Structure 1
Amino acid sequence: MFFSIGVLLASAGFSFFESVMMTVLVHAAPLQVFIGQSGGDAGLWALVAVTLLVNFRFMIMSSVLCEQFKSVSLMKMILSVQLLSVSTFTLASARKDKVLDSYRYYLGCGISSLSVAVIFTGVGYVMRTDLNPMIISVISMILPIHFTALAAMSWPKWRPVLATIAGFVATPLAGAGLGAYQVFVVPLVLGALFLAMDKLKSNRP
């Protein structure tokens, strides 16, 4: 996945150092894709808004892990927060009762995950110059396919699947008028619609 991000950032004109450091400091594929697709031209407030929206899940995940790591000092948790990702959270939560020290297990998962992400961001960036346009187009499909597959795994819960389909349809249409802002406008509008549907359904006798 981060190989494709390296290719994207190289295509967007970021330097090798900027691309690798973005993975080190951000370590969140959806946000990095937004930055790459916008070419760094989104503007400060758009970037802040998208960061808060796209990465809000980290607040929930970190709250859960803080409860799990009660014996760990606050300073240690702050120093290891950059290792947090959906993958490391999932692994640490799933194995919390099966390992002797869940915090060290989280560190092992996080260091491995971040290291691989950084390495393959660099590899993708370097190999970008040797790839023909067709291969680059195929690589650019990795992230959409990845997140679509995650949504499909929610079936038979139809709402995540329906929201994903609606997002794919609405995002290109909104992009024509909203530009970079469509990345957070579309999810907010779709979320509001689903909440409204829930409200109407709960009010029915």
Structure 2
Amino acid sequence: MATNNLTGISDYVEEANVLHMSGLRFHQGIRSVNMLAKMMEERFKCEEKMAHVLEHNSCDWSKKLADISSEGNGEFDHGSIYVAITKALMEPFEEAKIYNLVKNEGLGDDGPVHYLSSWKAQMESSQIQNKTMKLYSTAWDKQQSTLKEIEKAKEYFYMRKYKLEKGLRQLQADPPVLSSRAEAKLNKTLDRYREKCEVAQEVYKRSLKMAEEGRGKDLVVS
């Protein structure tokens, strides 16, 4: 007499569901990494452009200042005034103090403008570069953390897949005695499982492809 023995089948179906969701999470993890890399790449381009502009302006003003000083009476000490202005900038910013300091050196009314522009640009450029490197470092840490999570998800994916396939092989080697109705139900369940596995495999393949593309754009902090 046939017995309706479906013991363990529900476990295999649950495994298939877990496998499918694991593949989706893996796929989403890859997308998160790529989005983060793209966002940081765009952010860095903006920061780099601004730093370049400031650096260019800084060099331009320094050149003008050098031209002005070379036209003076030869008594202008370029090094000492740089030290003096640097010291003043390290203190609470007093523009009038620097203005008078430069004016007293015989550079005229235009001297302070050149100096202030040059030093402000250099300081802002340095701050932006430091900020950019911190952003890069943070993005790098997040990306490495996400990649580790993705590796864990991949291991989990393979482990569940292996267990599921092993269980199915055992089931096929020693099939339960089923009634016609139960066998039809089992076949229908297994068809759904196969479909879920195919979807999960497809998601996993796409995820691997995205991972390879994403790793090519890793953020590197020198």
Q: TM (normalized to structure 1)?
A: 0.24
Larger radius of gyration: 2
Q: TM (normalized to structure 2)?
A: 0.22
Q: Answer 1 or 2: which has greater helix percent.
A: 2
Which protein has greater RCO, CA pairs closer than 8 Å, 6+ apart? Answer: 2
